[in-house]
A and B are shown apart, each in its own frame.
Chain A
Amino acid sequence: MSTVEAPLYPIAVLIDELKNDDIQLRLDSIRRLSTIARALGEERTRSELIPFLSENNDDDDEVLLAMAEELGVFIPYVGGVEHAHVLLTPLETLCTVEETCVRDKAVESLCKIGSQMRENDLIEWFTPLVKRLAAGEWFTARVSACGLFHIAYPSAPETLKTELRSIYGQLCQDDMPMVRRSAASNLWKFAGTVESAHLKADIMQMFEDLTQDDQDTVRLLAVEGCAALGKLLEPQDCAARILPVIVTFSQDKSWRVRYMVANQLYELCEAVGPEPIRTDLLPAYVRLLRDNEAEVRIAAAGKVTKFCQILSPELAIQHILPCVKELSLDSSQHVRAALASVVMGMAPVLGKDATIEQLLPIFLSLLKDEFPDVRLNIISKLDQVNQVIGIDLLSQSLLPAIVELAEDRHWRVRLAIIEYIPLLANQLGVGFFDDKLGGLCMQWLQDKVYSIRDAAANNLKRLAEEFGPDWAMQHIIPQVLEIANDSHYLHRMTLLRAISLLGPVLGSEITRSKLLPVVVNASKDRVPNIKFNVAKVLQSLISVVDQSVVEKTIRPCLVELSEDPDVDVRYFAVQGLQSIDQVTMSS
């Protein structure tokens, strides 16, 4: 301990580490930058550490990424917001590197810092940085600049604002498509800070330029932000300036553009108000629902409910419902799946009559779809389904679908359906459940995929919670305990898993009288894996049963296991014994 007093040079430690050939060490030290900063104190962090970082940024991208991230939360270490500007220098350099992740992170950190900086500091430090980047020789700097305008703009004085707008306008017409793309995707952010007069003039001009770009990809990104942009405008301006562009784009030759429109259309509706929806957006939407390209129909179908919610029921029935019917028979399974995931929400919008008359057949046909995802999507909205069609009809049509899904070839589908079983049980009620689904729940316990067996055990626990211990005693426990005699050790293992889950739910008495004997019996299994799992289960049951039972039953069993020839069995048995001792001591 005598050497502790030797002078320590935090910067030297960092420099030493950053020179190491091992990238992991360099990463670790960058991750601990805040420690170094605190050790140095604010002043030396500003005068030594930050300049050092500004100069030493010729490292692997991974290290630079970590640095960009760390610097974003560095304000406290340099002495608070009044000194925040010193952080801009290293981040500015990181904004110009080649790797996209690093640049993005640096921009993100700059935004974080900028949003805390004082107004004067922003004008003095931040805005010049944005201008430098925007004038950068290499496109990476200009790409980064686009993401910073919305921070710099609000605090700038009038002349500077004019300049910033004009610089952004230039970026929208940059020579490099990479820059124009960045300008397009950041436009709505910048627009959010611009005064409404300039919004209508300058920003809308930029938007129109971008939507007419000769590169597909630029136009695409312009569309992506159009709803956000539209919300900034007055409804009538939005209808006049953005709507026509979108309606044109909804018939674009490129499916990507139409896809983007399909994604944006609903939000745009919120921005324009009812009349243009009826005259312009509804026809556009109906066209997209009937698009030639499945991708576009998928995007459009996913919005069908939301769209109906903003329409009057008559319009929805007249225009949207026919499309929904077509989509439910679409040749692409993905379109049907997208529809199935939202279609139930249409019921409240359409009202009861229209639902029973029109929607129900669609729903039933989706429930019988040959593609499991479609059926699954319907079943997952079960609560809504129940409200709409009533339990009887539901159970009739639902049951075959569920049984089929329960035996689906893909274990992920089986897994998904298991996860809905407690919800189903809740909706259907005890009686119905016992009749039809009880068997399935047992069957899953012996599935050949571990995840399914595990989920099945968990499912039993949730059912026991739902219907209570008495029900469980009657309907689950006997069948479960029978597995103890199964010849397959993996099945016996599942039994142990189920017991460890059910014990806490069923309570001390049932655990003692019904479950514990089975576990103790299993401790004499010939398979060591079973035996050490017995030890684990016993350990988990310590807190469930009374102290006396622990001493009388659990401890002797564990003691016996702790002398087992198998090392793993001994290990877990000893662990179990230790936790008994702990419980005893603490009580």
Chain B
Amino acid sequence: MLRQFLSKLPRKSGKSDSPELTGSTSCTTAGSSPQPHRSNSLNLGSGRPCAPKRTSSAVFPASVVAGIEPLLPFKDVPNSEKMNLFVSKVSLCCVTFDFTDPTKNLIEKDVKRQTLLELLDFVSGSVRFSEPAILAMCRMCAVNLFRVFPPNYRSVVSNGGENDDEEPMFDPAWPHLQIVYDLLVKFITSSCLDAKVAKKYIDHSFILRLLDLFDSEDPRERDCLKTILHRVYGKFMVHRPFIRKAISNIFYRFVFDIERHNGIAELLEIFGSIISGFALPLKEEHKIFLWRVLIPLHKPKSLGVYFQQLSYCVSQFIEKEPKLCSTVIRGLLKYWPITNSQKELMFLGELEEILEAINMVEFQKVMVPLFWRIGCCINSFHFQVAERALFFWNNDQIVNLIAHNRHVILPIILPALEKNAQNHWNHAVLNLTINVRKMFMEMDDQLFISCHIHFKEEEAKVSILAEKRKEAWKQLENAASLKPIAGNTAVLVTPLATPIAY
């Protein structure tokens, strides 16, 4: 029996032993990827029949394949040999094809596809994976999946700025990639995979390169990656801190450096469930993550793409630890968008959600800057922003908070209301404003009247204040011009010149 399927092994095995793989897969990253040491004696299919030609760029590893032949089906070998056959089949799938040309290697491509499907079926079974099998699987996934993406032509090719088609670029090899992804998911989640052994191969560099793939433009691929990373996080306890750190690094780079990454939403989704699993009381490390990573993630222009996931993460934190509310609100105020109305709407939405969960003490900590900002939103010329801010008064929980602290809030918000009532261009906003004003009047007539009087006084003073400010600066400038600086004024012209001290 054994001989029978040995004979079906790729014939080239002897010949193409030496140059294989290294060319097409050897990773650019130093010492990374689970590259095999060719020591395992059990590796039946030691001849991986792939003869790499040249390192091709990016997505399409262009190995020229002389031909691969199907191996025996699993059902035809005794249980004792199944793991060996598994390794052989996995090794067979290390061959990669050029999918840019759909007419090339049709038969071989199909053989590989069939083999992948067989493997998929087998992995769902209940045979315990041997170490060589794990190694072979990780290597096969690395060879197939870990690619460098091609340049993003949507941003490069401007074509006179008229080319706006948002069609993402899909890897033509997807039909194979998808099965490999499925295979990896099944493999990692399989109860037959011993995490203690597998962690040697699914190691830090494997994880880093998995994370690199999240920048893929293909949402299907990112979806697969999300599932896989999630499972890896679940299964490999030892890697958890590393995974959290590595994802944070991606976020940092995204926020502070490049502002471009395709997989932020997916990574945040994973974090959402990680956060919901945090034990109480929250560790300092996790709170730092909230403050240093999640809050700054509100800054990039592309917030809209991952806002839902981000706001879920934030709400998970608040649910775990309500005392974080004021911290989060302060953060939102810090990154409040000034010119982007769409983002402003998102911020207001998130704010409302937090305010629904906030307690009185936390609320009182931030209400002054918060309502100053809400006042600005109420005055926004973008009617949606103004409307959204005024809708806060439709929320009973928020109105309750406001009513309790009306002595602080009304003086802040009244100028904004009055300004709108006088001249907001949008009718809906105008009506809402008048309603809110009425609410305050009904809430506390006395207070409203005294605030209103105060407001009128202040309004009258505005121009005087501006005048005063101008005057103060004028005097300052006057005083400054009388006191020439020690060096000489030449230093002002060339700041780098050394001033000549008297």
- Interface residues in A383-412 (C-beta closer than 8 Å to B): 410, 412
Q: Which residue of A lies closest to B246 (CB)?
A: A177
Residue A38 CB within 8 A of the other chain: yes
- Interface residues in A263-296 (C-beta closer than 8 Å to B): 291-296
Q: Which of these, A100, A214, A255, contacts B257 with CB under 8 Å?
A: A100
- Interface residues in A450-508 (C-beta closer than 8 Å to B): none
Residue B172 CB within 8 A of the other chain: no
Of the 9-residue stretches A75-83, A145-153, A346-354, which lies at the interface with chain B? Answer: A75-83
Q: Which residue of A lies closest to B258 (CB)?
A: A217
Nearest-neighbour CB distance to chain B for A41, whole angstroms, equals 6
Residue B277 CB within 8 A of the other chain: no
Nearest-neighbour CB distance to chain A for B206, whole angstroms, equals 11
Residue B498 CB within 8 A of the other chain: yes
Q: Which of these, A35, A72, A176, contacts B249 with CB under 8 Å?
A: A176
- B253, A8: Cβ atoms under 8 Å? no
- B485, A81: Cβ atoms under 8 Å? no
Q: Beta-carbon contacts of B56-92 to A below 8 Å, as 1s and 0s?
A: 1110000000000000000000000000000000000
- Interface residues in A223-279 (C-beta closer than 8 Å to B): 251-258
Residue B479 CB within 8 A of the other chain: yes
With a cutoff of 8 Å between Cβ atoms, the chain A residues found around residue B56 in the complex are 292
- A253, B256: Cβ atoms under 8 Å? no
Residue B496 CB within 8 A of the other chain: yes
Q: Beta-carbon contacts of B21-43 to A below 8 Å, as 1s and 0s?
A: 00000011111100000000000
Q: Assign chain B's interface to a size class.
A: 35 or more
Residue A119 CB within 8 A of the other chain: no
With a cutoff of 8 Å between Cβ atoms, the chain B residues found around residue A177 in the complex are 249, 253
Q: Which of these, B469, B479, B485, contacts A8 with CB under 8 Å?
A: B479
- B475, A214: Cβ atoms under 8 Å? no
Nearest-neighbour CB distance to chain B for A20, whole angstroms, equals 9
With a cutoff of 8 Å between Cβ atoms, the chain A residues found around residue B29 in the complex are 214-216
Q: Which of these, A10, A100, A112, A410, contacts B256 with CB under 8 Å?
A: A100
Considering the chains assembled together, what is the distance between the CA atoms of A79 and B32 in angstroms? Answer: 55
Of the 9-residue stretches B104-112, B148-156, B352-360, which lies at the interface with chain A? Answer: B148-156
With a cutoff of 8 Å between Cβ atoms, the chain A residues found around residue B501 in the complex are 80-82
Q: Which of these, A100, A253, A412, contacts B27 with CB under 8 Å?
A: A253
Residue A568 CB within 8 A of the other chain: no
With a cutoff of 8 Å between Cβ atoms, the chain B residues found around residue A42 in the complex are 485-486
Residue A202 CB within 8 A of the other chain: no
- A293, B472: Cβ atoms under 8 Å? no
Q: Which residue of B lies closest to A138 (CB)?
A: B292
With a cutoff of 8 Å between Cβ atoms, the chain A residues found around residue B486 in the complex are 42, 76, 79-80
Considering the chains assembled together, what is the distance between the CA atoms of A257 and B55 in angstroms? Answer: 13
Residue A564 CB within 8 A of the other chain: no
Nearest-neighbour CB distance to chain B for A22, whole angstroms, equals 10
Q: Which residue of A lies closest to B56 (CB)?
A: A292
Residue B480 CB within 8 A of the other chain: yes
- B28, A254: Cβ atoms under 8 Å? yes
Considering the chains assembled together, what is the distance between the CA atoms of A34 and B212 in angstroms? Answer: 48
- Interface residues in A329-375 (C-beta closer than 8 Å to B): 334
Q: Assign chain A's interface to a size class.
A: 35 or more
- A255, B472: Cβ atoms under 8 Å? no
Residues A178 and B253 in contact in the complex (CB < 8 Å), given A39-B476, A293-B150:
yes
- A255, B473: Cβ atoms under 8 Å? no
With a cutoff of 8 Å between Cβ atoms, the chain A residues found around residue B57 in the complex are 253, 255, 258, 291-293, 296
Considering the chains assembled together, what is the distance between the CA atoms of A334 and B157 in angstroms? Answer: 8
- A76, B485: Cβ atoms under 8 Å? yes
Considering the chains assembled together, what is the distance between the CA atoms of A32 and B477 in angstroms? Answer: 9
- Interface residues in B440-499 (C-beta closer than 8 Å to A): 469, 472-473, 475-477, 479-481, 483-487, 491-492, 495-496, 498-499
Residue A4 CB within 8 A of the other chain: yes
Q: Beta-carbon contacts of A400-427 to B below 8 Å, as 1s and 0s?
A: 0000000000101000000000000000
Residues A38 and B485 in contact in the complex (CB < 8 Å), given A213-B30, A214-B29:
yes
Considering the chains assembled together, what is the distance between the CA atoms of A293 and B148 in angstroms? Answer: 12
- B205, A214: Cβ atoms under 8 Å? yes
Residue B391 CB within 8 A of the other chain: no
With a cutoff of 8 Å between Cβ atoms, the chain A residues found around residue B236 in the complex are none
Nearest-neighbour CB distance to chain A for B53, whole angstroms, equals 11
Residues A216 and B28 in contact in the complex (CB < 8 Å), given A39-B476, A115-B496:
yes
Q: Which of these, A73, A251, A410, contacts B160 with CB under 8 Å?
A: A410
Q: Which of these, B150, B157, B208, contacts A255 with CB under 8 Å?
A: B150
With a cutoff of 8 Å between Cβ atoms, the chain B residues found around residue A253 in the complex are 27-28, 55, 57, 148
Residues A35 and B27 in contact in the complex (CB < 8 Å), given A80-B499, A255-B148, A293-B58:
no
Q: Which residue of A lies closest to B28 (CB)?
A: A253
Considering the chains assembled together, what is the distance between the CA atoms of A466 and B274 in angstroms? Answer: 73
Nearest-neighbour CB distance to chain B for A213, whole angstroms, equals 7
Considering the chains assembled together, what is the distance between the CA atoms of A37 and B484 in angstroms? Answer: 11
With a cutoff of 8 Å between Cβ atoms, the chain A residues found around residue B205 in the complex are 214
- A76, B487: Cβ atoms under 8 Å? yes
- B491, A75: Cβ atoms under 8 Å? yes
- A178, B249: Cβ atoms under 8 Å? yes
With a cutoff of 8 Å between Cβ atoms, the chain B residues found around residue A76 in the complex are 485-487, 491-492, 499
- A216, B212: Cβ atoms under 8 Å? yes
Residues A293 and B151 in contact in the complex (CB < 8 Å), given A17-B469, A253-B28:
yes
Q: Which residue of A lies closest to B157 (CB)?
A: A334
- A13, B472: Cβ atoms under 8 Å? yes
Q: Which residue of B lies closest to A21 (CB)?
A: B372
- B148, A39: Cβ atoms under 8 Å? no
Nearest-neighbour CB distance to chain B for A433, whole angstroms, equals 29
With a cutoff of 8 Å between Cβ atoms, the chain A residues found around residue B491 in the complex are 75-76
Considering the chains assembled together, what is the distance between the CA atoms of A410 and B491 in angstroms? Answer: 48
Residue A36 CB within 8 A of the other chain: yes
Considering the chains assembled together, what is the distance between the CA atoms of A291 and B292 in angstroms? Answer: 41
Query: Can you list 26 A-B contacts with CB-CB less than 8 angstroms, sorted by A residue number?
Result: A4-B475, A10-B476, A17-B469, A21-B372, A34-B480, A38-B479, A38-B480, A39-B476, A39-B477, A39-B479, A42-B486, A72-B495, A73-B492, A75-B491, A76-B491, A80-B487, A81-B498, A176-B249, A177-B249, A214-B205, A216-B212, A219-B28, A252-B28, A292-B56, A294-B151, A295-B156
Known: A76-B492, A254-B28. 7 other contacts (CB 8 A): A75-B491, A75-B499, A80-B499, A100-B256, A178-B252, A214-B208, A294-B151
The 9 closest A-B pairs by CB, nearest first: A38-B480, A212-B30, A73-B495, A39-B479, A293-B57, A292-B57, A39-B480, A76-B491, A253-B28
